[in-house]
Structures are given as C-alpha cells and as structure tokens.
Amino acid sequence: MKKLLLTTILAFATMFASAQFMAITTISKVKGTPACDMANLADCEVYEGDTKPTEEDSWNVTDKIGIGYQVNEKIMIGVTKDGEDAYELLARYTIKDGIWATCVYNHDDESEAEMKDKIDIGVGYSFKVWKELYIEPNYTMPMKEDAEGSFNIGVAYRF
C-alpha cells in the first residue's frame, strides 16, 4: 500500500511539473452608446446591447477569459467564463503545426436546450508572436440549426 501511495504521488508530481498551462482570452468589439442617450434626450434612438457610454466603439479583452491545461502535445482542456457569467468547458485538439480544432460546451443549468444546441465547434491557428505569447485567429460555429458562425481573435499565453 505504501508503494502504491508513493507511486501515485510521484506520478502526480511529475505530471504537474511537466504540465503546460495557458491563459486564454478573446478580443471582442463593444459598440458605443450614442451620445444623445448620455444627454437623456427623449427622441434619441438607443440600440439593444449598448453598454458603453460614449459615441465610439472600443475593444474588450476580458469578455471571454479562461485557463487551459495541455494534457499532451495534441490535447488541451480548459474552462472559460464569458461576459454573461456563464462557464464553458473547452477542448482543443492540435491537428498539425499550430492548426487546431475546438469544441466548447456552454454550461447553463437553467437552460432547457438540447445538448447539441449548447455546443460550438471551430477551427483556428496559433501564431507565435513573442516567447510564449500567441495570437489565435479562429472561426467558431454553434451546432444550433440556422445559427451563424463568427470569426474571433484570441490571445494565449503559455506557462
């Protein structure tokens, strides 16, 4: 029993010593709120989803942020949190030389949607910018019927 315990401890210690973690995020554009809305004018047209109180659009790097664990050279698993406080489980499979396929499960306890409606699939490329910093353009598409895909730009840092 003592040997089994020591072997298990040694296996976990070497697993974490050689592990590669990554911090990942998606860069997204946030549309600005019209300036007339800031002045509380009654005849101002306000658009749904406007959150920023300026006329100009801006970029958000914390809208979808997470951490991943590189299981081996081909597989990465992780968890992300989107801007709506929902957690997503992430799996990524490296196909070849920085090209990868991804599957994201949008975990929502309150949703009664089918399992396939909560899954997004996609493909992307990791472009090394500097040391362990990567830019990751990718295309993601929901599995829902009649849903449109989206092109995203991500940033990853590998530890």
pLDDT in tens, 111-150: 677 777 888 999 999 999 998 899 999 999 988 888 888 8
**Which residues 6+ apart lie within 8 Å of 113 measured at CB?**
none
What is the pLDDT tens value at each position of the chain, 159 positions in all?
Answer: 666 666 777 665 665 555 588 888 887 766 655 555 455 555 555 555 554 445 566 667 767 888 899 888 899 999 988 767 678 899 999 999 889 999 998 877 666 777 778 889 999 999 999 988 999 999 999 888 888 888 888 888 888
pTM for the full predicted model: 0.68
Contact 23, 78 (CB under 8 A): no
Nearest to 120 by CA among 72, 80, 62: 80
Distance of CA 153 to the CA centre of its chain: 10
Give whole-number Cα distances, 105 to 83, 118, 135, 152, 157, in Å. Answer: 15, 6, 22, 17, 22
